[in-house]
């Protein structure tokens, strides 16, 4: 009897943890609510390990993918196809830079912070288009 009770409690605890995970929906848009062009809405998400991010192809011509070298060490990058939804679960704490490859130069970027983290040193070093860099800097101000 005690073994059954302990097993039941352990299963409930495991399932309860999964139930606490959140799903964030990100719209990929040609024009945002504030009139800005080529945006992810929201442009910044503060998530916990195990949370799911769902990118919704609200406007045509967009994708979501991690920017090269701009995600936590040990994490896997991701790359969605143009005009398709993408759902990912992030387990590794850190800061993830997300871009729309076709509109990266136009500044279509977003930032996902997983866990209680700060922006990594040198995060924006390298080849980041001017408009994208400006938006990343604004988003990183949320940390």
* pLDDT value of residue 5: 45
Tell me, rounded to whole angstroms, the distance of Cα 60 from its chain centroid.
Answer: 20
Q: How far, in Å, are 18, 23, 117 from residue 46 at the CA level?
A: 18, 11, 10
110 labelled binding-site residue: no
Distance, in Å, from the CA atom of 66 to the CA atom of 89, rounded to the nearest integer, reads: 13
Q: Over the stretch 64-87, which tens digit does the pLDDT of each residue have?
A: 999 999 999 999 999 999 999 999
**Domain 21-140 fold:** Immunoglobulin-like (2.60.40)
28 labelled binding-site residue: no
Stated pTM of the model: 0.85
143 Cβ contact list (under 8 Å, min separation 6): 95, 113, 117, 118, 119
Strands 44-47 and 109-114: parallel
- The continuous run of DSSP H or E covering 65 comes out as strand 65-66
- Per-position pLDDT tens, the chain of length 143: 555 544 454 545 555 555 588 999 999 999 999 999 999 999 999 999 999 999 999 999 999 999 999 999 999 999 999 999 999 999 999 999 999 999 999 999 999 999 999 999 999 998 999 999 999 999 999 99
100 labelled binding-site residue: yes
1 labelled binding-site residue: no
Strands 51-56 and 23-31: parallel
* pLDDT value of residue 30: 98
The residue extents of the domains of the chain are 21-140
């Amino acid at each position: 009897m005690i073994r059954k009770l302990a097993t039941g409690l352990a299963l409930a605890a495991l399932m309860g943890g999964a139930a606490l995970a959140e799903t964030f929906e990100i719209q990929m848009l040609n024009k945002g609510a504030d009139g800005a062009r080529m945006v992810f809405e929201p442009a910044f998400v503060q998530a916990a390990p195990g949370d799911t991010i769902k990118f919704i192809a609200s406007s045509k011509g967009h994708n979501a993918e991690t920017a090269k070298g701009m995600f936590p060490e040990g994490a896997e990058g991701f790359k969605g196809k143009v005009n398709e939804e993408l759902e990912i679960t992030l387990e590794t704490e850190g800061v993830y830079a997300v871009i729309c490859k076709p509109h990266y130069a136009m500044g279509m970027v977003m930032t996902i912070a997983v866990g209680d983290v700060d922006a990594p040193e040198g995060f924006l070093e390298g080849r980041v288009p001017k408009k994208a860099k400006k938006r990343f800097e604004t988003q990183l101000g949320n940390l």
